[in-house]
Chains A and B, each alone.
Chain A
Amino acid sequence: MNRSDTQFERIAYPVGFGLLVLLLWEISVRVFGISPALLPAPSAIGAAIAGSVPILWGDWVQTVIKGAMNGLWMGGIAGVALALVIDRFAFLKQGLMPVANFFAALPIVGLAPIMVMWFGFDWHSKAAVVAIMVFFPMLVNTLGGLAATDSMQRDLMRTYSAGHIATLLKLRIPAALPFVFNGLKIATSLALIGAIVAEYFGSPIRGMGFRITTEMGRLATDMVWAEIFISALTGTALYGLVALIEKRVTFWHPSQRG
Chain B
Amino acid sequence: MTDLTTSEAERPAMQKPVIDVSGVDLTFQTNDGPIHALKDVNLEINKGDFVSFIGPSGCGKTTLLRCIAGLETPTGGTLTVNGLSPNEARKARSYGYVFQAAGLYPWRTIGGNVKLPLEIMGFSKEEQIRRVRKVLELVDLEGFEKKYPWQLSGGMQQRASIARALAFDADILLMDEPFGALDEIVRDHLNEQVLKLWARTEKTIAFVTHSIPEAVYLSTKIVVMSPRPGRITDIIESPLPKERPLDIRDSAEFIEIAHRVRDGLRAGHEG
Name A residues whose Cβ lies closer than 8 Å to a Cβ of B: 150, 152-153, 155-162, 166, 170-171, 174, 177, 250, 252-254, 257
Contact = CB atoms under 8 A, between A and B. Distances in A.
Interface of A is mostly: helix
B148 A159 contact: no
Nearest to B165: A159
B103 A158 contact: no
B148 A252 contact: yes
A158 B90 contact: yes
A152 B150 contact: no
Given A160-B120, A160-B121, A174-B107, A155 B101 contact: no
Given A250-B107, A252-B148, A253-B106, A159 B119 contact: no
B71 A159 contact: yes
Interface in B142-181: 148, 150, 168, 174
Contact of A170 (B96, B97, B116): B116
A162 B120 contact: yes
A170 B104 CA distance: 12
A170 B119 contact: yes
Nearest to A153: B103
B97 A156 contact: yes
A234 B213 CA distance: 64
A164 to B, nearest CB: 12
Contacts of A156: 97, 99, 103
The 4 closest A-B pairs by CB, nearest first: A252-B106, A159-B97, A252-B107, A161-B91
Interface string B221-248: 0000000000000000000000000000
Given A152-B99, A170-B120, 14 more contacts: A153-B105, A155-B97, A158-B70, A158-B90, A159-B71, A159-B95, A159-B174, A160-B120, A162-B120, A171-B105, A177-B107, A250-B107, A252-B148, A254-B150
B102 to A, nearest CB: 10
Nearest to A150: B103
B175 to A, nearest CB: 12
Contact of B117 (A160, A177, A254): A160
B69 interface: yes
B93 interface: yes
A203 to B, nearest CB: 43
Contact of B103 (A152, A162, A170, A253): A152
Interface string B102-128: 010111000000001101110000000
A153 B119 CA distance: 16
25 contacts: A152-B99, A152-B103, A153-B103, A153-B105, A155-B66, A155-B97, A156-B97, A156-B103, A158-B70, A159-B69, A159-B90, A159-B97, A159-B174, A160-B93, A160-B117, A161-B90, A161-B91, A161-B93, A162-B120, A171-B105, A250-B107, A252-B107, A253-B106, A254-B106, A257-B150
Contacts, number: 52
A257 to B, nearest CB: 7
Contacts of A170: 116, 119-120
A152 B101 contact: yes
Contacts of B103: 150, 152-153, 156
Contacts of B91: 161
Interface string B74-102: 00000000000000001101011101110
A171 B168 CA distance: 18
Contacts of A155: 66, 71, 97, 99
A72 B83 CA distance: 56
Contacts of A257: 150
B150 A252 contact: yes
A10 to B, nearest CB: 23
A253 B105 CA distance: 10
Contacts of A252: 106-107, 148, 150
Contacts of B106: 252-254
Contacts of A152: 99-101, 103
A168 B208 CA distance: 30
A160 B69 CA distance: 10
B25 to A, nearest CB: 22
A170 to B, nearest CB: 6
A177 B93 CA distance: 29
B79 to A, nearest CB: 16
A152 B96 CA distance: 14
